[in-house]
């Protein structure tokens, strides 16, 4: 009750102080007739929206893009694009939000829940609740098909300020994978490891038994990288010792409604000791803590003979996916390893759910209802597919009877081309798309295609070990003061945790002698307050 009163007082104060965003007055606002929810076109007479968007490396031009043209024909909404390069995106966004000169829509920036709440309460971002009630079609489909979606994107004041992008592809929901070069297992007559001890023995065999057969001790049993999608060494292996969720609110865990961190627990220490053992015996490459994903890929694509046995990653980024060597197709996933305390778990992202806004409407929007309908219709199935695949009948099509989807059942759609390089017929996942698991599983593929490999490996080796949802800290909204305080704490603490992970593993710091000092340093960095802020945000939203 007190929080509601506080929010009301802040809102009144902002109104009285003139903090609400400016409306453009240089263009006359005309009367428009808006069609009912889910119907196209959206308006009877064409209107123009000004949209700020990030450029994509492989999109030639948003203005001339085939999907853009098709969507304008369907909606009767023309877009005046302002496109900014990704390297300047955050700076440009901050500049616009402080200038008071807003576009109608900001799309594709992944605006954090905190920014949504701050600029929503200032009146810069329009709440969408009334639009959803009156015009919601794709959004209501999102709420029905993705459990927890409505609550996740709702700010503590009860408003929804932005629409997210939902990708419930099973593979992307379980990206903390570990890949092993299967030909070496077969050559050495080794079984797939199921425990940390068996994994250790496999790595020893890779190092000492010349699995690539060139008579040289050039094999690298295990390596990771500092960049790349989940290519860091702790992403997979630490989960044999303590649940280590590095998606969203990384390194946090929920236990009966209490938020905690994992990197100060005895089990974390055990995991570090195991990694140090691998490093100390030459089973874990020293480059793991200095090389980027491109350097790791050079190891994975070593000319003449393979030298890389095992590597972490959401995909086989450590090889050239689709490359002529075909080596990427010879790696298979290792299921979650059972640790010394019998823990065996795969971190899991809640159906691809996140609260980052890929679509917000500003106070400058002359036709906010039209803007909302233009954005939320992207949640419909065909428009989602077109957004990421292009023109129906040319770049993709509906499946025919007998064509099988990823799940082994009748498929629903298929790709006709595999885009590579610069194209101008789709948006590459820009905006508020809704790829449900059902939609992804309906994709028709052939044996050996990347999508089929990733789906099968995930369903077989990771879905059975998914972490219980009640252990996962959901998307959180932080107040401006919380966010400001958290920004400094989070960077300091996470940088220190990552630094000490590398030092403990490499032996630069002796874990048996310096563990207590490590814990004391974390406390001195105000870890207690770090956890309190997360708990406050969780309680404000979910209790």
Model confidence pLDDT, tens digit, residues 468-498: 888 888 889 998 899 889 888 998 999 999 9
Query: Is residue 340 in a domain?
Result: yes
Predicted pLDDT of residue 4: 41
Region 203-214: what's the mean pLDDT? 98
| Domain annotation covers residue 416 | no
pLDDT at 12: 35
Q: Tell whether the model's pLDDT for residue 3 goes beyond 50.
A: no
Shared domain for 113 and 83, answered yes or no, is: yes
Does 155 share its domain with 222? no
pLDDT band for 7, please (50, 70, 90 cuts): very low
Cβ contact 151:477 at 8 Å: no
Query: How close are the terminal C-alpha atoms of the chain, in Å?
Result: 13
| pLDDT class of 506 with cuts at 50, 70, 90 | very high
Q: Specify whether 337 is located in the same domain as 232.
A: yes
Instruction: Report the alpha-carbon distance of residue 327 to residue 324 in Å, rounded.
Output: 8
Rounded distance between C-alpha atoms, residue 490 and residue 147, angstroms: 29
The verdict on 271 and 368 lying in the same domain is no
- Residue 278 covered by a domain: yes
Residue 354 is predicted with a pLDDT of 81
The pLDDT, as a whole number, for residue 252 is 93
In this structure, are 243 and 275 located in the same domain? yes
**64 plus 130 within the same structural domain:** yes
- How many structural domains comprise the chain? 2
Domain at 234, CATH number: 3.40.190.10
Encode pLDDT of 87-133 as tens digits.
888 899 999 999 999 999 999 999 999 899 999 999 999 999 999 99
Confidence (pLDDT) at 1: 41
pLDDT, tens digit (0-9, with 9 covering 90-100), for 254-296? 999 999 999 999 999 999 999 999 999 999 999 999 999 999 9
Residue 47 in this model has a pLDDT that exceeds 80: yes
For 221, the 3-state DSSP assignment is: strand
In which domain, by residue range, is 72 found?
A: 2-162+353-389
The predicted pLDDT at position 223 comes to 98
Compute the Cα dihedral for 465, 469, 473, 475 and give only its sign.
positive
Looking at the structure, tell me whether residues 222 and 203 fall in a common domain: yes
Residue 19 is encoded by which pair of tokens?
């903090």
Does 417 reside within a domain?
Answer: no
Give CA–CA dist 226/471, Å, rounded. Answer: 27
Across the range 417-442, mean pLDDT stands at 92
Residue 36 reports pLDDT greater than 90: yes
27 — pLDDT class (breaks 50, 70, 90): low
At 49-89, the pLDDT tens digits run 999 999 988 999 999 999 999 999 999 999 999 999 988 88
Higher pLDDT: 169 or 186? It is 186
Q: With respect to residue 427, please indicate whether it lies within any of the assigned structural domains.
A: no
Looking at the fold, whether 308 and 366 belong to one and the same domain comes out as: no
Domain assignment present for residue 15? The answer is yes
Over residues 362-369, mean pLDDT: 98
| Contact (CB, 8 A) for 203 and 230 | no
The residue-averaged pLDDT of 365-372 equals: 98
| 341 plus 358 within the same structural domain | no
CA distance 149 to 245: 20
Q: Are residues 131 and 8 in the same domain?
A: yes
What mean pLDDT do residues 5-18 have?
37
Same domain, 308 and 363: no
371 belongs to a structural domain: yes
Average predicted confidence (pLDDT) for the chain: 92
Distance CA 284, CA 294 (A): 18
Higher pLDDT, 419 or 280: 280
- Decide if 395 is inside a domain: no
Do 333 and 358 share a structural domain? Answer: no
**What is the percentage of the chain residues whose pLDDT exceeds 90?**
80
Prediction pTM value: 0.86
Share above pLDDT 70 across residues of the chain, in percent, rounded to a whole number: 94
The pLDDT score that the predictor gives to residue 479 is 87
Measuring CA to CA, how many Å separate 459 from each of 50, 134, 175? Answer: 42, 39, 12
Predicted confidence band of residue 24 (pLDDT cuts 50, 70, 90):
very low
pLDDT band at residue 25 using 50, 70 and 90 as cut-offs = very low
Residue 351 is predicted with a pLDDT of: 61
């Amino acid at each position: 009750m007190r929080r509601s009163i506080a929010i009301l007082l802040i809102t009144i104060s902002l109104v009285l102080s003139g903090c609400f965003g400016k409306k453009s007055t240089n263009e006359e606002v005309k009367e428009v007739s808006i069609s009912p929810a889910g119907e196209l076109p959206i308006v009877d007479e064409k209107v123009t929206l000004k949209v700020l968007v990030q450029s994509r490396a492989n999109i030639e031009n948003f203005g001339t893009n085939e999907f853009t043209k098709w969507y304008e024909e369907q909606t009767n909404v023309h877009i005046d694009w302002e496109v900014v390069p990704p390297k300047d995106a955050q700076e440009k966004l901050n500049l616009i939000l402080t200038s008071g000169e807003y576009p109608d829509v900001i799309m594709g920036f992944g605006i954090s829940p905190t920014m949504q709440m701050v600029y929503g309460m200032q009146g810069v971002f329009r709440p969408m609740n009334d639009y959803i009630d009156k015009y919601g079609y794709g959004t209501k489909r999102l709420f029905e098909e993705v459990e927890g979606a409505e609550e996740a994107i709702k700010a503590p004041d009860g408003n929804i300020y932005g629409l997210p992008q939902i990708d419930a592809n099973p593979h992307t929901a379980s990206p903390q994978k570990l890949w092993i070069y299967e030909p070496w297992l077969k050559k050495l007559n080794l079984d797939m490891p199921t425990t940390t001890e068996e994994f250790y023995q496999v790595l020893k065999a890779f190092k000492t038994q010349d699995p690539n057969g060139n008579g040289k001790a050039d094999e690298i049993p295990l390596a990771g990288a500092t960049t790349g999608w989940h290519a860091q060494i702790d992403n997979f292996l630490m989960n044999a010792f303590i649940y280590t969720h590095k998606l969203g609110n990384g390194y946090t865990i929920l236990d009966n409604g209490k938020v905690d961190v994992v990197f100060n627990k005895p089990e974390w220490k055990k995991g570090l000791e195991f990694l140090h053992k691998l490093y100390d015996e030459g089973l874990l490459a020293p480059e793991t803590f200095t090389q980027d994903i491109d350097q790791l890929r050079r190891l994975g694509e070593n000319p003449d003979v393979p030298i890389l046995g095992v590597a972490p990653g959401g995909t086989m980024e450590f090889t050239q996916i689709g490359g002529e060597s075909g080596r990427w197709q010879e790696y298979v996933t290792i299921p979650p390893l059972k640790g010394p305390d019998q823990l065996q778990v795969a971190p899991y992202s809640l159906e691809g759910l996140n609260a980052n806004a890929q679509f917000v409407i500003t106070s400058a929007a002359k036709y906010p209802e039209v803007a909302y309908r233009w954005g939320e219709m992207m949640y419909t199935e065909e428009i989602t597919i077109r957004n990421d695949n292009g023109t129906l009948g040319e770049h993709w099509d509906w499946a025919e009877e007998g064509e099988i989807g990823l799940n082994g059942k009748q498929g629903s759609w298929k790709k006709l081309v595999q885009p590579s390089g610069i194209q101008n017929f789709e948006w590459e996942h820009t905006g508020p798309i809704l790829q449900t698991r059902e939609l992804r599983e309906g994709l028709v593929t052939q044996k050996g295609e990347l999508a089929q490999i990733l789906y099968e490996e995930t369903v077989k080796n990771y879905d059975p070990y998914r972490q219980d949802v009640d252990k996962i800290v959901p998307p959180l909204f932080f107040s401006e003061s919380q966010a400001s305080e958290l920004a400094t704490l989070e960077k300091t603490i996470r940088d220190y945790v990552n630094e000490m992970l590398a030092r403990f593993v490499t032996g630069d710091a002796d874990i048996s002698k310096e563990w207590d000092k490590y814990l004391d340093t974390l406390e001195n960095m105000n870890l207690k307050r770090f956890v309190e802020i997360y708990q406050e945000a969780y309680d404000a939203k979910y209790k």
